Amino acid sequence: MSEMLTTLGMVAGGLGLFLLAVTMITEGFKLAAGDALSDILKAGTRTPGRGIVSGIAITGLVQSSSAVTVATIGFVNAGLLSMAHALGVIYGANVGTTMTGWLVAAIGFKFKIELFALPLIGIGMLLRLTGARKRRGALGWALVGFGLFFIGIDVLKTAFEGMAATTDVSAYTAQGVWGMIMFIGIGFVMTVLTQSSSAAIAIILTAATGGVIALPEAAAMVIGANIGTTSTAALAVIGATPSAKRVAAAHIIFNVVTASVALVLMPLMLWLVARTSHILGMDDIPAVSLALFHTVFNVLGVLLMWPLTQRLARFLEGCFRSAEEIEGKPRYLDKTVIASPELAFNALYLELGHVSEVTRRIALGALSSELAPSDKMLSDKAAIQSLINHIEHFIGQLGSSELPDKVSQALAKVLRTTQYLGTVADLADFVATAQSRIHELSEPALMEAIAAYRAQVVELISLSDVQDKHYDAEVFAKHREQVDNAYHELKDRLLVAGAHQRIKIRDMTFTNEQLSRIHRLVEQLAKSVNVMQYLLSLSSVAQAEPEVVTPPVETAAVEVVETTAVTDSAKT
C-alpha cells in the first residue's frame, strides 16, 4: 500500500513539474520574442504552405499549440489572415505538438538527465536574476522550464517503472474494438482533465517506456489525446467571435479526421513504425515508436486535408455567422440575374429597400437613445456599409454589359440613393454619439419642444418606407413639411433663449448642433425617398402591384443634389 501511495505521489509530482515546465517555456518564449512572434507568424502565413511550416516551427519552440492558435485567431479577427491561410497554421500547429513526444522519447536514451537538465536550470535562473524585466530574463525563464521539463519526465518514468514492477500489465490490454475505444477514451479524458495534450502524451509515453501499458494500447491513447486537445479550443471560444469559432472548428475537424484515419490504419502504421524503429536500432524504446506514430498520423492528416483546404475554408466561412454578417449579406443580388438587365434592376431596387430598412432602424435607434451608440447600432452601420459595397460591386458587373437607356440611367440613381442612405447612417451615429454630451436645458418649455420635434422626426422615419404597401407619398410630404417648420421654429427659439441668457450659451450651441444633425438626417432621408419613388415607377415590382403604387412626388423633376460631407453637416 505504501509503495502504491509513493508511486502515485511521484506520478502527481512528475505531472506537476511537467505542467509547470510547459507553462514556463510558453511564457518565457512569448515574452522573449515579444512582437517578433506575431511578426514571424504574420510573415510566415502569406501562403497556406508557409503557414504549415510556421505552425510547426513556432509550436515546437513554445511547446503550446494553444498559443499559436490564439495568435491565429487574432490575425483572422483583424482581417490580416484569411481562413485558408489560418488552416495552414492549424495543420502545422498539430504537427508541431509531436515535438513533445520526441523530447519525452529522448529520456529513453541511456544518459543522465541531470547532466544537462540541472545546468539549464542554473543558467536560466542566472539570466532571470540578472535581467528580470529584460528579454534575457524571459529567455532564462524558458530555459528553466526546459530543465524542469526533463526532470518531470524522468520522475514520471521512474514512477511508472516502479508501477510496472508491482502491476500485472496483461490486465491493461485492449480486447477487440471496444477495448481499443476504451483506451482512446482514456487518452481523451487525460487531455481534458489536464487541459494539455502535451501532458497527456508525456504520461502515455513514459507509461509505455516504463512497461505499464503495451504499445498498441498506448497508440490508442495517443489518438485519444490528439482528439482531446480539441476540448481546449472548444472551451476557449464559448461566447467568442465567429472568426474564433471558425478557427476552433478547423482545429476540431482536423483532429477528428486525423484520429479517425489513424484508428483505421493503426495495424499498418504500427507495423511500419516497428520496421522503421528496427532499422534505426531503436525498437527497444517504446517512446520512440509512439513519437514516430504520433508524427506519422499527424503528417498523414495534413496530406489528406491539404487538397480540401479551400473547400473547408469556404465551408467554415459560411458557419457561425454573426448577426452583423447575416444582415450585411445581400438578400436579392445574385450573379444569375446579371444576364437580364430588367431582373438585375429589380434586384437592385429590392436590395435598396433592404438597405433602407436597416438605415431606418439605426436612425430610429439614434433618436430614441439617450446614451452613446449601442452595439446593435454599430453592427447595423457596418451592415449598411457591407450592403452598399455589394450593391456597388453588382452595378460594376452590370455596367460592363450593354444596357437599355432606362436601366443605365437608373443605375446612377441607385448609386445616389446608397450615398444618401450611407449619409443617414453616419449622421445617426453622430447624433447618438453626441447625445450623451448634451445637458438638459434650464427652460422646460424648450425641452418639451425638442422632445416633440424628435417625436415628429421618428414619425417621419416610420412613414418613409416606399416599399411598404401602406406608404403614402402625400402623407410623407405633408409630414416632412411639418418637421421642417418645427425645426426652423425651434432653432429660432433656441437662439432667442440664448441671447436673453435664459439658457447657457454653451448648452444652446450643443443643442443647436444636435438639431442641425437631425435636420440633415431628415434631408438626406427625404432625398432617398424621392429617388426610391422614381425607381419604383421604373421597376417591374410596380407593374406587378399597381394598386399599391402611389404616384411619385414630382418624379419628372427629381432633384439631384450632391451629398455633402458628413463632417460638414456636423458643423451646420
pLDDT of 44 reads: 63
If you count them, how many residues does the chain have?
572
Rounded mean pLDDT, 77-95: 78
| pLDDT (tens digit per residue) in 1-20 | 566 677 777 778 877 876 78
The grid cell for 330 is 445581400
The grid cell for 552 is 411619385
Does residue 181 carry a pLDDT above 70? yes
- Longest CA–CA separation in the chain, Å: 100
Closest to 24 measured CA to CA, from 35, 16, 13, 36: 16
pLDDT of 552 reads: 42
The grid cell for 464 is 418613409
Q: How far is CA 501 from the centre of its chain?
A: 53
Alpha helices in 329-404 (DSSP H): 341-368, 375-399
Angstrom distances, CA of residue 470 to CA of 33, 317, 351, 355, 464: 64, 39, 19, 19, 10
The grid cell for 535 is 425607381
| pLDDT (tens digit per residue) in 497-554 | 888 888 888 888 888 898 999 999 999 999 999 988 888 887 655 444 444 444 444 3
Q: CA-to-CA distance for 162 and 155, rounded, in angstroms? A: 11
Closest to 172 measured CA to CA, from 203, 206, 204, 212: 212
Which of 286-300, 397-411, 528-542 has the highest mean predicted lDDT (pLDDT)? 286-300
3-state secondary structure of 385: helix
Does residue 557 carry a pLDDT above 70? no
The grid cell for 375 is 452595439
| pLDDT (tens digit per residue) in 444-458 | 888 899 889 999 999
3-state secondary structure of 176: helix
| 505, burial (CB in 10 Å: exposed 0-12, middle 13-18, buried 19+) | exposed
Closest to 424 measured CA to CA, from 533, 550, 531, 268: 531
Q: What DSSP character marks residue 44?
A: T
Cα four-point dihedral sign 63, 103, 86, 38: positive
Angstrom distances, CA of residue 490 to CA of 434, 459, 482, 515, 572: 19, 18, 12, 9, 15
Domains of the chain in start order, with CATH, are 2-320 (no CATH), 338-571 (1.20.58.220)
Task: Name which of 131-135, 200-204, 524-528 the model is least confident about.
Answer: 131-135
Does residue 72 carry a pLDDT above 80? no
Does residue 423 carry a pLDDT above 60? yes
Considering only residues 156 and 554, tell me which one the structure prediction assigns the higher pLDDT.
Answer: 156
Q: CA-to-CA distance for 325 and 366, rounded, in angstroms? A: 21
Residue 239 pLDDT class (50, 70, 90 cuts): low
pLDDT of 3 reads: 66
pLDDT of 525 reads: 93
Give helix 65-77 / helix 48-62 axis angle, nearest 10°.
Answer: 140
| pLDDT (tens digit per residue) in 295-312 | 888 898 899 888 888 888
| 441, burial (CB in 10 Å: exposed 0-12, middle 13-18, buried 19+) | buried
Rounded mean pLDDT, 65-69: 68
Average pLDDT, the chain: 77
- Which residues 6+ apart lie within 8 Å of 16 measured at CB? 152
Q: CA-to-CA distance for 36 and 43, rounded, in angstroms? A: 10
How many CB atoms are located within 10 Å of the residue 470 CB? Answer: 8
The answer to whether the beta carbons of residues 156 and 206 sit under 8 Å apart is yes
Q: pTM higher than 0.85, yes or no?
A: no
Does residue 476 carry a pLDDT above 90? yes
